[in-house]
Amino acid sequence: MALSLSTTIVRQPHGSSGLAPRDWRPVNGDLMGKKLNFIQKTQKKNNVKSSICMTLTGIATGEAKLRDLDMEKRDPRTVVAVILGGGAGTRLFPLTKRRAKPAVPIGGAYRLIDVPMSNCINSGINKVYILTQFNSASLNRHLARAYNFGNGVTFGDGFVEALSATQTPGEEGKRWFQGTADAVRQFHWLFEDARSKDIEDVLILSGDHLYRMDYMDFLQSHRQSGADITISCLPMDDSRASDFGLMKIDGKGRVVSFSEKPKGNELKSMAVDTTVLGLSKEEADKKPYIASMGVYIFKKEILLNLLRWRFPTANDFGSEIIPASAQEYYIKAFLFNDYWEDIGTIRSFFEANLALTEHPSRFSFYDAAKPMYTSRRNLPPSNVDNCKITDSIISHGSYLTNSFIEHSVVGIRSRIGSNVHLKDTVMLGADYYETDAEMKSLLAEGRVPIGIGENTKITTCIIDKNARIGKNVIIANSEGIQEADRSSEGFYIRSGVTIILKNSTIKDGLVI
């Protein structure tokens, strides 16, 4: 580490106390070359300690080593991210009827996979595997469009690869992914090929969470602690703690035990002092539990050992491998005290989307420094004609005419006709446009174009892509039905939310 030219050297007479000496004169760094002879001549006279230069050199060298060590602990080139996107997503059905969970649209213009992918890009991580299995066609298509080398997102010497479940030799290789750990196990050899020679840690991510996170902070904490495994966790209060897998930690933040969705006395026993992880005393009293986010960092060699030898038949990280490793390996908790939502159910999907319309919203896609990436669509701005829009998001490429949009999210390429009222509705939009001629032809035949027809009223609803909703339709679930399968008519009701199926048609005048 070279010293700055503006460095000031203090000449201190021999025998002084070192505490603010009176007889000192600064020598400016930019004149050091000219002053050198003067210092050498006056050193003997004033008996200046020669250790000054040695001390400065020692400080500079120490600072350089510390800085190099800090940079090493934050080096994104030595970490690979694995995004798990292969689950069937039954709790998100029917949105997952024809697509994988990570491919489900969110926020009007994005897909769930864009969240961990953007977090990786914004963290500098450029080596990413996405493990897919169920209904992966639309997910693979989106990844190819959004994260290739021609769309402005660059990965340098890195890569983004979708790895679909596939058969390999042997009995084990004939199975589908049985869980998160089994999915990684089936591709364990990737961590030992030539591209992975510099990889030290493996970051395991989920493809269906909504949050912003700098994974480099996570990685640095993992490396500084010397942990074998680090788990990102959320502080929780009593009202939500029973919905999650909880962890217990000791006074140094080491994880010592786990409990899956505990209740009653078992829940109380999982309370910990969360000030250990950095919470204030006041906040720690309100949130005495820590819940796993399902985001992990493993030392590469530890991960391979766990998957191959220690637990060769275990299928899941969160419920099997990690709890069983707590006594043998050093597992550390890392506190993430910010917005995070598991988009695992219809109700959570519905509420997370509508929460984006709050002012201010707890999660926002609007951050110029850390943008959320998605596929380039080259759509025009939305055309809004004589509409009233409150607390809503209108995505690009949409047409809205003389309508009232209230507390709703309207996706790309949406068409909303005259005198339509949307309230508490998530409209996912469309994959393509119908021309004016096509729309006129459909109407002339008594059929329904893509979009929402005039005089229609919709509330508490999710409208999947390319849905055709006719004129004078009412969708309100006024009877408060919680679950219903009306797929033959183009919709389901899940958790009290009406879901209009993708590519379905709701005929003129229907009341739901």
Domain ranges of the chain: 70-356, 383-506
Q: Which residue has the higher pLDDT, 313 or 67?
A: 313
Q: What percent of the chain has pLDDT over 70?
A: 81
pLDDT at 433: 94
Q: Distance between CA 176 and CA 221 in Å, rounded?
A: 34
- Could you tell me which residues come within 8 angstroms of residue 472 by beta carbon, excluding any fewer than 6 positions away? 453, 454, 455, 456, 508, 509
- Higher model confidence: residue 26 or residue 340? 340
Alpha helices in 277-338 (DSSP H): 281-286, 300-305, 322-325
Question: Is the pLDDT assigned to residue 3 strictly greater than 90?
Answer: no
Res. 111: pLDDT tops 90: yes
Write down the pLDDT at residue 373. Answer: 93
Confidence of residue 48 (pLDDT cuts 50, 70, 90): very low
Structure tokens at 226: 């010397």
Averaged pLDDT of the chain: 83
Which segments of 269-343 does DSSP mark as H helices, in order?
281-286, 300-305, 322-325
pLDDT band at residue 167 under the 50/70/90 scheme? low
Per-residue b/e over 1-40, b at no fewer than 16 CB within 10 Å?
eeeeeeeebebbeeeeeeeeeeeeeebeeeeeeeeeeebe
Q: 380-405, pLDDT tens digit by residue?
A: 999 999 999 999 999 999 999 999 99
CATH number given to 70-356: 3.90.550.10
Tens of pLDDT, residues 213-256? 999 999 999 999 999 999 999 999 988 888 888 999 998 899 99
47/263: higher pLDDT:
263
Fold held by 383-506: UDP N-Acetylglucosamine Acyltransferase; domain 1 (2.160.10)
What's the pLDDT band for 498 if we cut at 50, 70, 90? very high
* Parallel, antiparallel or unpaired: strands 474-475 and 457-463: parallel
- pTM of the complete model: 0.82
**Residue labelled with tokens 């990737």:** 190
* pLDDT for 29 beyond 60: no
